[in-house]
Amino acid sequence: MAYGLSRRELDPRVRLLPGEGGRDHLSSVEGLAALSLDALSSVAYGPEAIVVVLVAAGTGALGATLPITLAIAGLLAVLVVSYRQVIAVHPDGGGAYAVAKKDLGPTVSLLAAASLVVDYVLTVAVSLAAGAASLASAFPALSGHLVAVCLGGLLLITVVNLRGIAESARVLMLPTVLFIATVLGIVVLGLFRSHPAAVVGTEQSVPVTETLGLLLVLKAFAAGCSALTGVEAIANGVPAFREPRVKRAQRTELMLGALLGLMLVGLAVLIRRDHVAPRGGVTVLAQLAAGAYGSGWAYYATNVIVALVLGLAANTSFGGLPVLMSLLARDNRLPHLFGLRAERPVYRYGVLALALLSALLLVVVQADTQRLIPLFAIGVFIGFTISQVGLVRHWARERPAGWLRRAAVNGVGAVLTAVAALVFLASKFVEGAWVVVLAVPLLMLLFTRVQHYYDAVGAELGIGLIPARPTRREQGSGLVIVPIGEVNKLTSYALTAALALGGEVVAVAVHGNPDAVRELRARWEEWDPGVRLEIIDSPHRSLVQPVVDYVQRTAESGRQIAVLIPEVEPRHRRYQILQNQRGILLATVLRARTDVVVCMLPYRLPL
């Protein structure tokens, strides 16, 4: 039986694994729930960030909240248009990283990747911390246990995401609908009332320390732009959508922009009309909820819903960062294990890494939202700016119809986001923004060192070169199966060892890309090692299960079968984590599900 792809319509398909197939990818509405909660829930702290800055000039300065919010809504519109273009140009996901890698060169792509990693980790921490604080506002007894509340929420969302992003999207549908309805209800009922139905919180005396000038307005604008975090997540998670993925992702981006803009402007109108200033023990959104619904059960229900959705907003990072880390692993900038998928379509190592980093950060800052926000927005705006600049260069190079208009939109967006990033960095540097200034270069250094290691490994294995032919020994009656990835020295080493065992030898490769299959066949024929090559079509890029299925089918013939798995072993233990561990995983599954002989063949590196 042949497993090649020379005639794709006749080739057998690997059976779909649990969680694979269109049913378990996202529709547009599910994508809004799974990837947009970070942006939507930012209305809980974005308008408040503007108010906190403006009140330094006195309560009279709060009237500037509406024009500043309108400017932010204009920037939101620019970003939505831009990221719809990013989705079309880069349908494989990656957002700012994919744009920078293609259009701005390797150094800028490292900067984009580092800023996105920082952004995603901080998104989880900020969302959970803000959710815990909102919950404690309604139930003061929880105020002394914020870290425990955050870690409990983090554990829950991690478990849900380990089951697959589509399942988590379904879990998030109801809270998303309730949150949108609740916030829009605050806007509508609040506008209908001539004065607030109730006033909550304790009055605070805020000293006037600044005047309402250009610098204060810019600081308020930059702070309010924290409400735009998460707009890029849909572009990063395009592979999670059902076909046609590009159209569904673009539709979701448009839905996000319309809803977020409507909620931000509506809340700003209420803040300006009712002169809402910060009060002790409650958030600005809680004050607006009391003004619209009163202080009865609807007020408490609103706070609980807001707290729940703020916690669940961390799901945006769980949908985006593992995909980004898989792209970095594919580019040899992170350990290859981050590119491995479990039987469900989820990058579990990325999910677990994000959970651990977020938990550590929450414990260090004691779940204090105000200590996290200065770190939060800078990474976001670096990514925004890189995406805009990259698309400007893309349009200038490709020059499609209407490219000047598209480049102008992206250019304006780049200037606005760059100004916001610089203002936020300058105003919040001492308050903690310096951590991001330190973390981003360190991540870039990490990516570079990992890439240098893989380059050295590639040179040692002779990747891209035709190796010497393997040595054939006397044959026996058994069958030795050698899983391979490509033609290199590791493949030659493994086939030589397999031929030494005697019997028939067959090399098995798993691929889902027809172009890669054609290249592998051509290189195999050029090499001509005297060993049969069979290629299994795996359109969903699952690598372990197709080999297991092949071995199980072959073992039905009754032949004695051995599977020889080559495994790269670095000389230094510190490099062990950089290996993809796929061989160990395959060996474990084969031992659990078959009775064949499984052999691990180490290829020891001098590194």
Confidence (pLDDT) at 471 = 67
Quote the CA–CA distance of 331 and 326 in Å, as a whole number: 9
In angstroms, how far is the first alpha carbon of the chain from the final one?
41
User: Is pLDDT at 461 greater than 70 in this prediction?
Assistant: yes
| Percent of the chain residues topping a pLDDT of 90 | 16
Question: Any residues with CB less than 8 A from the CB of 304 and at least 6 apart, and which?
Answer: 135, 138
447 pLDDT above the threshold of 60: yes
State pLDDT tens for residues 308-350.
Answer: 888 778 777 787 788 788 888 888 899 888 887 765 557 888 8
Alpha carbon distances (Å) from 400 to 81, 397, 464: 17, 9, 35
pLDDT for the residue numbered 376: 73
Name the pairing type of β-strands 532-537 and 479-484.
unpaired
Mean predicted confidence (pLDDT) in 384-398: 86
How far apart, in whole angstroms, are the C-alpha atoms of residue 13 and residue 86? 32
In this prediction, residue 21 carries a pLDDT of 45
Average pLDDT over residues 73-79: 90
What span, in angstroms and rounded, lies between the C-alpha atoms of 468 and 492?
A: 7
pLDDT at 104 exceeding the cut of 80 = yes
| Mean predicted confidence (pLDDT) in 47-56 | 86
For 408-439, give the DSSP string. Answer: HHHHHHHHHHHHHHHHHHHHHIIIIIHHHHHH
Q: How does 193-208 read in b/e, with b if 16+ C-beta sit within 10 Å?
A: eeebbeebbeeeeeee
Which strand ranges, in their side-by-side order, compose the sheet holding 532-537? 532-537, 504-511, 479-484, 561-569, 597-604
State the Cα–Cα distance between residues 262 and 260, nearest whole angstrom: 5
Q: How far apart are CA 103 and CA 589, in angstroms?
A: 41
CA distance 416 to 385: 8
* Tokens at 176, concatenated: 């998303």
Q: Report which residue type is found at 269.
A: V
For 10, counting Cβ atoms within 10 Å of its Cβ (0-12 exposed, 13-18 middle, 19+ buried), the class is exposed
Per-residue HEC secondary structure of 279-315 comes to CECCCHHHHHHHHHHCCCHHHHHHHHHHHHHHHHCCH
pLDDT, tens only, 409-435:
888 888 888 887 887 788 777 777 788
pLDDT at 295 over 80: yes
Considering only CA atoms, which of 77, 107, 142, 163 is closest in space to residue 390? Answer: 107
Token readout for 309 is 């959705």
**pLDDT exceeds 90 at position 180:** yes
Both tokens assigned to 234: 């849909």
pLDDT of residue 374: 67
Residue 527 tokens, joined? 């090499």
Min mean pLDDT across 71-80, 88-97, 519-528 is at 88-97
How many other CB atoms sit within 10 Å of the CB of residue 405?
10
Contact 516, 494 (CB under 8 A): no
Partners of residue 603 on adjacent β-strands:
568
Of 487, 532, 525, 527, which is closest to residue 507 (Cα–Cα)? 532
User: What is the percent of the chain where pLDDT is above 70?
Assistant: 91
How far is C-alpha 48 from the geometric centre of its chain's CA atoms? 26
Contact indicator for 301, 419 with CB cutoff of 8 Å? no
**Residue 70 clears pLDDT 90, i.e. is over it:** yes
Q: Is 53 exposed, middle or buried (0-12, 13-18, 19+ CB in 10 A)?
A: buried
Closest CA to 256 of 226, 240, 235: 235
Find, among 539, 566, 565, the residue nearest to 551 by Cα. Answer: 565
Residues 6 or more apart whose CB falls under 8 angstroms from that of 190 comprise 196, 270, 274, 288, 291, 292
Phi-psi region of 71 (alpha: psi -120 to 50; beta: other; left: phi over 0): alpha
Q: What is the pLDDT of residues 270-285, one digit of tens each?
A: 999 888 888 877 888 8
According to the model, what pLDDT value does residue 262 have? 94
Q: Which of 188-192, 263-267, 289-293, 368-372 has the lowest mean pLDDT?
A: 368-372
Residue 17: its pLDDT value, please? 37
Question: Contact at 8 Å (CB) between 501 and 480?
Answer: yes
Residue 74 host element (H or E): helix 65-89
CA separation for the pair 93, 47 (Å, rounded): 30
> Residue 357: what pLDDT?
92
Phi/psi for 472 (5° steps) reads: -95, 135
Q: What is the pLDDT of residues 106-153, one digit of tens each?
A: 888 899 889 888 888 888 888 888 888 888 878 878 878 889 999 998
* Alpha-carbon gap, residue 336 to 575, rounded angstroms: 12
- Rounded Cα gap, residues 464 and 556, in angstroms: 36
pLDDT computed for residue 5 by the predictor: 40
Above 80 in pLDDT, residue 72? Answer: yes
Report, as an integer, the average pLDDT of 222-229: 82
Is the CA virtual torsion 373, 376, 380, 382 positive or negative?
Answer: positive
Return the half-sphere exposure (C-beta side, CA atoms, 13 A cut-off) of residue 224: 31
Confidence band for 305, pLDDT divided at 50, 70 and 90: very high
Mean pLDDT taken over the chain: 82
* Helix, strand, or coil (residue 211): coil
pTM above 0.85, yes or no: no
pLDDT at 93: 65
